[in-house]
């Protein structure tokens, strides 16, 4: 089954943080089943800027090149998904980038993969695959 990745999951994976092993297993399963994980281009950009701030732009470029080799499909954002994200932002205390991950999961009616506690506000509204330490 297709799932949506929040930037939190890939950042945990790349920075070898708590939950990195579980994210790696999800990535491997996606590759084995030829069912890519989905990610909004907004959240892909969030991965890039977080890595660039922490480790520099060349490292960020290397990591996003690695994403291109993974079973992860980066999706553009259209007005429909943007409208869902905007409504989530108006209603909940989430970062705007997080709203795009949630909006994509809502639009596709699939689980969101994250460990970001901000998403607790959406637990009744969205299926969440929690990455736990």
| Class of domain 3-130 as given by CATH | alpha beta
Give which of 113, 125, 120, 123 is closest to 6, Cα–Cα: 113
Mean pLDDT, the chain, whole residue set: 96
3 pLDDT higher than 80: yes
Give residue 1's pLDDT. Answer: 80
d(CA 101, CA 80): 13
pLDDT tens by residue, 15-34: 999 899 999 999 999 999 99
Neighbours of 18 (CB within 10 A): 12
Q: What is this structure's pTM?
A: 0.94
Domain residues of the chain, as ranges? 3-130
- Give the mean model confidence (pLDDT) for residues 119-130: 95
Confidence of residue 133 (pLDDT cuts 50, 70, 90): low
């Amino acid at each position: 089954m297709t799932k949506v990745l929040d930037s939190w999951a890939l950042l945990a994976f790349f920075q070898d943080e708590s939950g990195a092993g579980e994210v790696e297993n999800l990535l491997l399963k996606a590759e084995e089943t030829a069912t890519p994980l989905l990610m909004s281009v907004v959240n892909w950009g969030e991965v890039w800027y977080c890595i660039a701030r922490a480790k520099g732009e060349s490292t960020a470029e290397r990591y996003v090149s690695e994403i291109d080799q993974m079973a992860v499909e980066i999706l553009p954002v259209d007005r429909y998904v943007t409208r869902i994200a905007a409504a989530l932002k108006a209603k909940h205390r989430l970062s705007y980038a997080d709203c795009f991950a949630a909006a994509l999961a809502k639009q596709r009616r699939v689980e969101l993969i994250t460990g970001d506690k901000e998403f607790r506000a959406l637990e009744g509204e969205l299926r969440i695959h929690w990455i736990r330490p």
